[in-house]
Amino acid sequence: MNILLMCMAGASTSLVMNKMKAALTEDQKDWKIEAHPFDRMDEVVENFDVILIGPQIAYKKKELLRKAAEIGKPLDSIAPVDYAMGNGAKILKHAQALYEGRDK
């Protein structure tokens, strides 16, 4: 699975991305996780299976959901507490559930 993390500029989301990579299990080691600013979504989204947005751009969620739906990609926000705590394992579970259609 390829996970796109969308954020404002990338600094804090890069930390979350690294926590997620560190939490990958052996059978998930081939997953790709990247963080990009939300204004680059159109450029990079085709390379990903699921999109998670950081809490700092929650105000853009409606717009980004519309774009994601147009291209058939699941999108949701990362829970603020998981983002703040860098809970990579929980964020990975959320991404997988979203990808499998079990979440939101």
The residues that bridge with 2 in the sheet, in sequence order, are 32
Give the 3-state DSSP-derived string for 34-103, with helices as H, strands as E and coil as C. Answer: EEEEHHHHHHHHHHCCEEEECHHHHHHHHHHHHHHHHCCCCEEECCHHHHHHCCHHHHHHHHHHHHCCCC
User: Of 95, 98, 103, whose CA–CA distance to 16 is shortest?
Assistant: 95
Q: Clarify whether 93 is annotated catalytic.
A: no
Catalytic position from the list 6, 7, 41, 64 = 7
49/54 Cα distance (integer angstroms): 17
Catalytic residues: 7
